[in-house]
A and B are shown apart, each in its own frame.
Chain A
Amino acid sequence: MKYLGIEPKRLRFAVFEFTGCEGCELQLANKEETLLAFLGAVDVVEFREVSSARNGAYDVALVDGAISRTDEVERLREIRARAKVLVALGSCACFGGVNRMKNACDLDQANREVYGDHPKETLPTRAIHEVVPVDLKIPGCPVSKAEVERIVQHLLFEVPYQFPVYPVCLECKQHFTVCLFDKGQLCLGPITRGGCDAPCPAGGLGCWGCRGKAADANIDEFRSIARERAHGEREIAERLGFFGGFEEHS
């Protein structure tokens, strides 16, 4: 399996889940038409969703979910120590994700509300990179399998992968979607990193920013645009805070 005469590296992949919905992991097993080729290009040594195999050594650890318990911190540190490349997979791993919302609440109260009289040990939600150094972040809720494939291809040939840096609006326009601001809705498209192909606006739902902040996002102008169109401070803050990708602005 050469490309342009060059043999790709054989890399051993392991997949681990933390606090999250496992949607990103499911994505990995998605896209059936290329699944065999995908599994043929990599050696999966640990991945609950597709195999029960457990085998010590791996090169690349794909980590999905956020960190919200002490035992998770320990487990993540161990993975970091063993992996050559640690990849944060999905918005929870990259930013804390929806789980991060609990950080705005009183932790004890949140605990009681969810677990009643049997509270669980819990920490404020953190993204993977807030606990250990991360080599690569693949945002998305869930991640796109097509993008994961391309990134894996780059890893196999040891060439850096270039994420799109433009905001969601570009691809949204390229799908001829009528702008949601024109329909009176709020949309984070102008400040969110593109590359997802703008499926949410195309489906009539404003972007919630699952891919995090676009390069050099003009947050101030975005806020004034939203305010001018009568979106309240609370609505704007909630939207910015949803996936945790705009943490410093929400």
Chain B
Amino acid sequence: MLFRTLAKPDFKALVERILASTEVIGPKRVGTDRHGRPIHHYLPVESFDEIDLDYETTEFSAKTYFLPYKENLCSYRFQDDDWRQEIRYRIQPRAIIGLHACDIHALIKLDKALARDFFPSPYYISRRKNTFVVGIDHDPCEGGFCRSLGTDTATHGFDLFLTDLGERYFVAIGSDRGFRALSGLPAAEITEQDTEDYLRVRKRIAAGFKTEINVQNLPNLLDIEFESPVWEKWGGKCLSCGSCAMVCPTCYCYGVSERVSMDFASGAKTKQLYSCNLIDFAVVAGGHNFRPNRQTRLKYRYYHQHRGFMEAYDEPKCVGCNRCGRTCLAGINPVEVIRDLQAEDET
């Protein structure tokens, strides 16, 4: 990895340079919740000053810029006895400024499932490849447990990654594209002082984590606790609303539907993100529902996060951002659910 330092005004200049030709997304404050805390969303910005790099977390992940909630997969038009299909991948470049480490890990996990496995998705890949990612270090967000999952620091999956050293940023360069982006800017070679400052900040951040889960042996524990009353307890509260999967940076399930125009001359296939908590998620042809009750559906959500994905890719799917926990009206959150399971295991 190459490192540089960049004075804050020069970083602003960099973003403004990108803005001149490219859509820029950044954390923007959109309101205040009922506890008086700011709410941030990743949104397109028109100037650098709209970006609030000191944000704690966002309500929604940045997944939507890679896996939109609704996406046109193809359009088709009939003519005489023939038909034409049109497929458009999104290739317009875009930059996302200010992703936290957990969200960069989320992209790395999505890469594994959607770009590097047996069925790579050209829809995902075109967006991912054409998105310039700038990450940033930050003090732990409330309830986040990324450190337990090893997703509190990022060493790849981005173009640039910033650590705030006060007047300047410590910049990790993660790609050729990142390197080229710095050209013409007074980015300095790092000094011993820079390294020292960087490590001090990293230490402060690491010491700030208050929330932890123990993921040791979790896949086996999940198998052992398959019939646990813990699933009754938490699953019974589930509203089967899918909000958790919508805000989760790594949930990628979807359904596909066809819409035909009213004159029957054209149509479109649309993909819509879905959630395993929704009641018809496991309905198969013929109408049988493999997971008709909410308890089972909630359980399988946890199984995919911490067991199924682990089996396929040697790591859990969850990055510990706790967005699902914050958004769930019923208060269902991974930290408590997993702790309950572990307590169950000890009794």
Q: B279's contact among A190, A216, A222, A225, by CB below 8 Å, is which?
A: A216
Other-chain residue from B39, B240, B263 in contact with A1 (beta carbon distance below 8 A):
B263
Contact status B242-A169, CB under 8 Å: yes
Annotate A173-217 by CB proximity to B: 1 below 8 A, 0 otherwise. Answer: 110101101111000011100000000000000000000001111
Q: List 5 A-B contacts (CB under 8 A).
A: A41-B262, A167-B240, A173-B242, A176-B59, A178-B59
On chain B, the residues within 8 Å of A215 by CB distance are 279-280
* Cα–Cα, bound, A149→B261 (Å): 9
Given contacts A166-B279, A218-B238, contact A149 B34 (CB under 8 A): no
Question: Is A47 among interface residues, defined by CB-CB distance under 8 A?
Answer: no
B294 proximity list for chain A (CB < 8 A): 216, 218
Q: Which residue of A lies closest to B263 (CB)?
A: A37
Cβ of A165 and Cβ of B278 under 8 Å apart? yes
Interface size class of A (residues with CB under 8 A): 35 or more
Residues of B within 8 A of A (CB-CB), count? 38
| A37, B261: Cα distance in complex, Å | 9
Q: Is A16 an interface residue (CB 8 A)?
A: no
Please tell me if A119 contacts chain B, counting CB pairs below 8 Å: no
Say yes or no: A178-B39 contact (C-beta < 8 A), given A169-B242, A169-B243, A225-B329.
Answer: yes
Is residue A124 within 8 Å, beta carbon to beta carbon, of the partner chain? no
User: A221 in the interface, Cβ–Cβ < 8 Å?
Assistant: yes
Contact A170 B275 (CB under 8 A): yes
CB neighbours of A170 from chain B (8 A): 241-243, 246, 275, 278
Q: Does A27 contact B (CB under 8 A)?
A: no
Does B12 make an interface contact (CB < 8 A)?
Answer: no
Give complex CA distance A37, B294 in Å.
42
Contact assessment for B59 and A149 in the assembled complex, using a CB-CB cutoff below 8 Å: no
Q: Kindly list chain A residues whose C-beta atoms are within 8 Å of the C-beta of B247.
A: 173
A-B contact count (CB 8 A): 104
B327 sits at the interface (CB 8 A): yes
Q: How far is the CA of A214 from the CA of B238 in the complex (A)?
A: 13
Whether B69 sits at the interface, judged by CB under 8 Å, is yes
Secondary structure at chain B's binding surface: helix, strand, loop or mixed? loop
Which A residues are CB-close (under 8 A) to B243?
A: 169-170, 173, 179
Contact residues of B between 31 and 64, Cβ < 8 Å to A: 31, 33-34, 39, 41, 59-60, 64
Whether B260 lies near A169 (C-beta < 8 A) is: no
Please name all residues of chain B whose beta carbon is closer than 8 Å to the beta carbon of A40 when the two chains form the complex. Answer: 263
CB contact between B260 and one of A3, A179, A191 (< 8 Å): that residue: A3
A33 to chain B, nearest CB (A): 9
A109 at the interface (CB under 8 A from B): no
For chain A, residues 127 to 175, give those with C-beta under 8 angstroms from any C-beta of chain B.
149-150, 153, 165-167, 169-170, 173-174
Among all A-B residue pairs, the 9 with the closest Cβ atoms:
A173-B246, A174-B69, A169-B241, A37-B262, A37-B263, A3-B264, A34-B262, A190-B239, A170-B242
Which residue in B261, B264, B273 is a CB contact (below 8 Å) of A174?
B273
Please, which residues of chain B bring their CB within 8 A of the CB of A150? 259
- Which residue of chain B has the shortest Cβ distance to A226 in the bound complex? B329
A149-B262, A166-B241 known; A174+B329 contact, CB < 8 A: no
What per-residue 1/0 map shows which CB atoms of A1-43 lie under 8 Å from chain B? 1110000100000000000000000000000001001101100
Within 63-79 of B, Cβ neighbours of A (below 8 Å) are at: 64, 69-70, 78
